[in-house]
Every structure is written in C-alpha cells, then in structure tokens.
Amino acid sequence: MSNRPFYITTPIYYVNDIPHIGHAYCTVVADVLSRYYRLMGRPTLFLTGVDEHGQKVQAAAEKRGLDPQKHCDEMAENFRAIWKELNISNDIFFRTTDSFHKKAVQDCLQQLFDAGEIYTKEYEGWYAQTDEIFYTEKDLVDGKAPTGAEVVKISEKNYFFKMSKYQDRLISHIEKNPEFIQPEYRKNEVLGFLRQPLNDLCISRPKSRLSWGIELPFDKDYVTYVWFDALLNYATGVGLKQSTRSAEFSKWWSASPSPVMHLLGKDILTTHSVYWPTMLMALGLELPRTIYAHGWWLTSQNEKMSKSKGTVVKPLDVKNIIGVDALRYFLSRDVRLGNDSQFSLELVISRVNSELANNFGNLLSRTCSLIAKYFDGKLPVVEKLSDKSVALKQVALQAQVKLTAHLESNELQEALGVIIDLLTNANQYLAEREPWKMAKTDLPHAGETLTVSLECVRIAAILLQPVMPTKCAELLKRLGDASHEWKYASEFMVLKPGTLITNEAPLFPRVELPKEEPAK
C-alpha cells in the first residue's frame, strides 16, 4: 500500500499577472501533501505550472506591447522565482507553450477528430471574454454571465467536442466513486449541474479573433480553446502521446488505482470535473482519483480580492514580514480545506504569535534555557518516567497516528491542530511541574521534566516538516542533530543523555504589525 505512487497537481496559472495569495495557497497545500507523502516513502510527483495561451494572456501581452511568447517567458520566470521563495518542491514546472505539449494536444485532437468525437457547426452564443467561456441564453443572469462577466453575442463556425455523449457515464462514475469529487458538498453541486442536459463543448477559436493558441491539426484557421489545451497538461506532463515516455505515463497516469489528485479552487470545478473527465473518457484514458476543490481567501470585508480595489495580497509581501515557514503554516492551518476564509495581516500575525511564538517557541526556549542553566546544555540521564510524564508520552505518541489520518484525508487544519494540542499539553505539563523551581530541590525530576518536554518538541518538529521544512530542520539540528526520519516520531526518549542541546535565539520570534507608512 505504501508504495502506491501519488501524483498531485495545482491548476496551471494564467500568466496575465503575477501570483497572489490564492495561487500561493493552492501551491503551498499541494507542496505540504507532496512533502508528506515523500516523507512517508511513497513515490511522489508534484506538478504546477503556467497556462500561457488564450485571450487573457494575449491581451496582457498586448497591453505591455510585447510579443506573447516573450511576455509568457518573463511571467513564467516570475512564477518560478516566487515558488522558489516559498520553498515549493514541485518536480515539474509545466508550460503550455512547450513544444512537446503543443504536439501532444494536436495528437489528442486528431485522435478525437478521426474517431468522430469532434464535429463542426455554425454557432451562436454569448461569449464572456474574461471567462473565455460561451454561455447559452438560459445561462445568463441579468444579461451577464453567471460569473458576472460581460458577454457579447457571437456567431461563427466552430468545432465541438461531443461532451454530452458522456453525461450518463460521468454521473455514474461520480456516484460510484465517493473520492472522485471532494469535499462531498462540491460533489453534490456537480451532480446538480449534471441533472440539466449537458451541451457539447466548443473547443476552437477562429484565428481571426484569437491567434495565441495551439493550431487545430485539421483546420489551420483555428486555434484550440484554452481550457482544452490547459487541462491536457496534467497528462502530457507525465508523458501522454510521447512514445519515449510510456513507462512514466503508465506509472503516473494509468496505474490502478489512479495516483492522480487535482487540487484547484472552487471556481474552476466545472472545467475539472465535467470537461476534463469527459475528455479523458473520449480519449480512452483513466480518470483521476480525486478532484479536490478548495475555497477562497477573501478580504477582511469578506469580499473577493480585487486588483482594481487594491485588495489583492501578494505572497512575498507577507513572507517578508513573517517568514516563509510561518506563511506556509498560516495557509495550511487557518482554514479547513474547501472553505473560504478571510485574509488580513492582523489575523496572520495573531495566529503566528499565539501558535508558533508563544506555544511552540516558548516551549522550546524555556526547555533549552533550563537545560543550559542546570545541566550545562546536556540532556540528563532519566531513570524512570513519572505518571504525568507517561501520560504526556501517550499524547505525543498518538500525534503521528492522528496527524497521518488527517493528512491522508486532506485535513491540513485538523492535522496541525493535533500538533498544537500536543504542544499545549507539553506547556501545561511544564507549567505544572515548574522545573525552574524543582531544579533547586530535586534535580533528577527537573531533568526528567525537561527531557520529556523536549521529546514532545522533537516529535512536533518531525511531524511539522511538510509544512515548515526549514524551521524543523533547524530545530532538529538544535536538538543535537536529531534524526528527521518519520519513524522516529513514533518513538519516545530517542534523544540520548549527554546530547548537547543548543540554546539560541528564538526559533519563532514574535512578529509585530508593520507601522503604516506616514502619509506624505
């Protein structure tokens, strides 16, 4: 079981702008899960990347007066650089302008065309440029797209994929596979949507209107609809339609059960849970195991972040104030995966101070400074654990079991809650036993208390590695270079007597809200 491959993807982001906190969120969550499965010893692959074709990107390049490819090259580098700063460990950085992808998309289109899965017809519909989606009359709400985007009536010849043909098969797949669309309430939403007749999917754009895309192999006057091109990235990224990569494709895509988990925001659930699976069915390919829709980060006024209102949060601005690991921690901890949450610097700082600086940081620094003071910085010999210590040991040993169960159900918030509970318990234990007083009358008991506390810190540091890789590595180093291996979180009293414990500056210093710049 533990050898099963795990392949996780984020959406590939449009390169019309630099990443904001919503993009960083999805990428961090995917990174945490990847790092977790790697630590568990499972073969793991993590893909993120950029979506470079289509109207939005063409318009962004035009606005900058740049050739689209040059614009994409620059923007792709921005994404790469930001993910590096957030310590994202993706194995693949996907670009849809890579020639192998363009060729593979054309091969898929040709396969579907030859199989009669694509047909042409004159089409009249309401087109929303910002969504890049055609709507029918009945989709419109007050003359606008359901997303609120402006629409214009367009009439043109286009190519269509016979998506409707797969409607019943898709419904039955969703019903039979409870893991397929998550969280469950999103599955019900998709099933609700599928209760209406499904239209066929327009998969072409005439070059006269949009030239920045992958040319249709069977009609050079058209490019491919950007979503049809983009969704295929998940499969071309692991070798689809590339004869030299067939072993890779079998491992990461067609294995049974499927190793694939797509993580994405709730706003792009339909494209992922309706367009994509029907495309795969038509191509004769396996479906992903899970499509998981996360929620949105909203402003403190509970609004969607908006560029024009200046309420978009840039991840590096936050990182520069609180540090990369604290940002990763906040994003993983603050909201239940799937729900919306508010984002404000005040909320971030308050959580980081209470859970990392006060809870985790204080436990570490109190313990280490007392070991320095009373034991020359070396772990004392512990003869026997008292009842209170045994009780705390049980909590610590349960932590890994509970955290694992949560992470494997994609419950990051709850997984981190387990560690916070352990640290809270350890702080209480320390406060009750007052080793700073005990040391003056009963040194062996003080030694036992400090060692047991430090064991809790050690276990927390191993288990928090997927979320805060840098801080945890530094912490384990301070504990006499303790092993970071996952298995040592299920053992207690691993640190040996005599181990030199480093007592340094706080690992999680308190963070202050930056002062507002005085108005000029």
Q: Work out whether 13 is an interface residue with ligand MSP (CB under 6 A).
A: yes
Q: Work out whether 30 is an interface residue with ligand MSP (CB under 6 A).
A: no
Residue/partner pairs of 95-98 with CB below 8 Å, 24 or more apart:
95/49, 95/50, 95/52, 96/12, 96/49, 96/50, 96/51, 96/52, 96/53, 96/214, 96/229, 96/230, 96/233, 97/52, 97/53, 97/69, 97/72
Q: Work out whether 98 is an interface residue with ligand MSP (CB under 6 A).
A: no
Q: Work out whether 12 is an interface residue with ligand MSP (CB under 6 A).
A: yes
Q: Which stretch binds ligand MSP (CB under 6 A): 143-151, 228-236, 387-395, 426-434?
A: 228-236
Q: Work out whether 507 is an interface residue with ligand MSP (CB under 6 A).
A: no
Supply the minimum distance, in Å, between the C-beta of residue 26 and ligand MSP. 5
For ligand MSP, give the closer residue by CB, 71 or 402: 71
Site for ligand MSP in 229-248 (CB under 6 A): 230-231, 233
Q: Which stretch binds ligand MSP (CB under 6 A): 11-19, 84-92, 481-489, 491-499?
A: 11-19
Q: Work out whether 296 is an interface residue with ligand MSP (CB under 6 A).
A: yes
Helix (H/G/I), strand (E/B), else coil: 433:
helix
Contact of 260 with 249, CB cutoff 8 Å = no
Q: Work out whether 7 is an interface residue with ligand MSP (CB under 6 A).
A: no
Q: Which two tokens stand for residue 358?
A: 């006060």
Q: Work out whether 109 is an interface residue with ligand MSP (CB under 6 A).
A: no
For ligand MSP, give the closer residue by CB, 288 or 323: 288
Q: Which two tokens stand for residue 334?
A: 């603050």
Q: Work out whether 191 is an interface residue with ligand MSP (CB under 6 A).
A: no
Q: What x-and-dash track marks residues 37-66 binding ligand MSP by CB under 6 A?
A: --------------x---------------
Supply the minimum distance, in Å, between the C-beta of residue 394 and ligand MSP. 38
Among 68, 265, 288, 338, binds ligand MSP (CB under 6 A): 265
Contacts of 495 (CB under 8 A, 6+ apart): 379, 451, 454, 455, 458, 479, 480, 482
Supply the minimum distance, in Å, between the C-beta of residue 364 and ligand MSP. 32
Q: To which H or E segment does residue 56 belong?
A: helix 55-63
For ligand MSP, give the closer residue by CB, 268 or 345: 268
Q: Which two tokens stand for residue 307?
A: 């560029």
Q: In sequence order, which ranges of 124-201 are alpha helices (DSSP H)? A: 167-176, 184-193
Q: Which residues of 76-105 are buried (b: 16+ CB within 10 A; e: fewer)?
A: beebbebbeebbbebebbbbbbeeebbebb
Q: Which of 4, 236, 294 is nearest to 105 (CA)?
A: 236
Q: Work out whether 101 is an interface residue with ligand MSP (CB under 6 A).
A: no
Among 6, 14, 46, 329, binds ligand MSP (CB under 6 A): 14
Among 94, 127, 180, 297, binds ligand MSP (CB under 6 A): 297
Give the interface size with ligand MSP as a residue count (CB under 6 A): 19
Q: Work out whether 267 is an interface residue with ligand MSP (CB under 6 A).
A: yes
Among 23, 71, 95, 205, binds ligand MSP (CB under 6 A): 23
Q: How far is CA 118 from the centre of its chain?
A: 34
End-to-end CA distance of the chain: 62
Question: 483 forms bridges with which residues in the sheet?
Answer: none
Q: To which H or E segment does residue 443 belong?
A: helix 443-463
Residues that bind ligand MSP (CB under 6 A): 11-14, 22-23, 25-26, 51, 230-231, 233, 264-265, 267-268, 296-297, 305
